[in-house]
Amino acid sequence: MGIRQTKGRGRLFDSVLDTVGDTPAIRINSVAPDHVTVYVKFEAFNPAGSVKDRLALNIIEAAERDGRLKPGQTVVEATSGNTGIGLAMVCAAKGYPLVVTMADSFSVERRKLMRFLGAKVVLTPRAEKGFGMYQKAKELAEANGWFLASQFETPDNADMHASTTAQEILGDFKGERLDYLVTGYGTGGTVSGVGRVLKKERPDVKIILTEPGNAALVASGYINTRNADHQPTEGHPNFEPHPIQGWTPDFIPWVLQEALDQGYHDELLPVAGPDGIAWSRRLAAEEGIFTGISGGSTFAVSMQIAERAPEGSVILCMLPDTGERYLSTPLFEGIPEDMTEEEDALSKSTPGYQM
């Protein structure tokens, strides 16, 4: 094989926002069972590093189109981080001030990334969970006349996945076998938008939905109450804190309700946070794919499916983000800053440049 060559994308981009989407489906070569083929749709290739860049862009542009968002108006949203980072990128590119509300339990680097992109971050007590940061965003919007992005309710969320994510999957697997799609949920936009399209265009594909085992809201059968605007009016009684940041707020979002009501998922499987961490580490060390705990958790369930899937099955796993926004989380526990004994021995094995 000769040296790899590239030719550019064949176009010039007017804005960073034009680079959202068209993320690659990448084959897994080392850690998947031999009798199946596994691909990951690696959303870290989005410009701000996560799948939430998609909904962030469409929430703002749809609101611009229909006049809900006025020039220069402040945008406010509650987020565990990825949507806030995506919104910060979009708002920076378009010139909107952004205020994010976020529980103080989420990783410090997420706050710094949003502030680096020009956003203001208002922290809420971790004891109030996702519902608390959500209520704070509503209060700020109502008190100041700000535009509430409403990622958990707006149809602009799932619509974006129907028009981009789902279309990319159809295009990449055109004429190819695809048996399973595995995804978790935060807002539910991915499973609702992609499910809406795949159930029509590729009904043979089984959609596997996963959620944290200790915060199994969908599996509980209980749907939290909502107001006339489809906003939650209570936290979900089955929620417990979990390490899979970005997944499963302490309520079932209205956006997810479409997938539940329409039966878009064929199976629901729980996953333990430590399993997600373990698989994220394996993807990095054995595949060179650097994803966060949510990606590792989705991949953990994909491996469960792979073990029992018939010979020749093809599985596509959604990887929501990059691992770099988890540096202060349990994902990086035990990763040393200083040299290990083995590294120190390597240093001392030659005479020069020793610490």
Same domain, 255 and 290: yes
27 three-state secondary structure: strand
Same domain, 105 and 194: no
CA-closest candidate to residue 262, choices 162, 165, 160, 149: 162
53 with 165: CB under 8 angstroms? Answer: no
CA-closest candidate to residue 168, choices 193, 131, 134, 151: 193
For the segment 218-259, what is each residue's pLDDT rounded down to a tens digit?
999 999 999 999 999 998 999 998 999 889 888 999 999 999
Q: What is the CATH number of the domain that holds 111?
A: 3.40.50.1100
Q: Is 52 a catalytic residue?
A: yes
In which band, very low, low, confident or very high, does the pLDDT at 352 lie, cut at 50, 70 and 90? confident
Catalytic residue selected from 280, 294, 302, 313? 294
- Reply yes or no on whether the pLDDT at 284 is more than 90: yes
Is 244 part of a structural domain of the chain?
Answer: yes
Q: Is 129 a catalytic residue?
A: no
Residues of the chain with pLDDT > 70, as a percent, come to 100
Residue showing tokens 């976020």:
102
CA distance 252 to 232: 8
Same domain, 234 and 270: yes
Same domain, 204 and 107: no
Residue showing tokens 């406010």:
76
- Amino acid at site 134: Y
For the segment 20-55, what is each residue's pLDDT rounded down to a tens digit?
999 999 999 999 999 999 999 999 999 999 999 999
Same domain, 142 and 191: no
Domain that holds residue 108: 52-148
In which band, very low, low, confident or very high, does the pLDDT at 105 lie, cut at 50, 70 and 90? confident
| pLDDT value for 354 | 80
| pLDDT value for 21 | 98
91 with 192: CB under 8 angstroms? Answer: no
How many alpha carbons fall within 13 Å on the CB side of residue 85? Answer: 25
- Reply yes or no on whether the pLDDT at 350 is more than 90: yes
Region 196-204: what's the mean pLDDT? Answer: 98
Same domain, 79 and 33: no
Same domain, 171 and 289: yes
Q: What does pLDDT average to over the chain?
A: 95
| pLDDT value for 81 | 84
Residues near 201 by Cβ (< 8 Å), separated by ≥ 6? 166, 170
- Reply yes or no on whether the pLDDT at 106 is more than 90: no
Is 89 part of a structural domain of the chain?
Answer: yes
Is 125 part of a structural domain of the chain?
Answer: yes
Same domain, 26 and 62: no
Backbone angles phi, psi at 307, to 5 degrees: -65, -35
Same domain, 178 and 323: yes
Same domain, 65 and 101: yes
74 with 118: CB under 8 angstroms? Answer: no
Concatenate the DSSP letters of all residues of 173-211 into one string: TTTS---EEEE--SSSHHHHHHHHHHHHH-TTSEEEEEE
Residues in the chain: 355
| pLDDT value for 112 | 94
Is 340 part of a structural domain of the chain?
Answer: no
Region 185-214: what's the mean pLDDT? Answer: 97
Number of domains, the chain: 2
| pLDDT value for 71 | 96
Same domain, 70 and 86: yes
Catalytic residue selected from 41, 52, 129, 206? 52
Model pTM score: 0.94
Handedness of CA 298, 153, 151, 159 (dihedral sign): positive
For the segment 305-319, what is each residue's pLDDT rounded down to a tens digit?
999 999 999 999 999
Is 267 part of a structural domain of the chain?
Answer: yes
* Residue 86 Cα distances to 92, 275, 319, 329, angstroms: 10, 27, 16, 20
In which band, very low, low, confident or very high, does the pLDDT at 286 lie, cut at 50, 70 and 90? very high
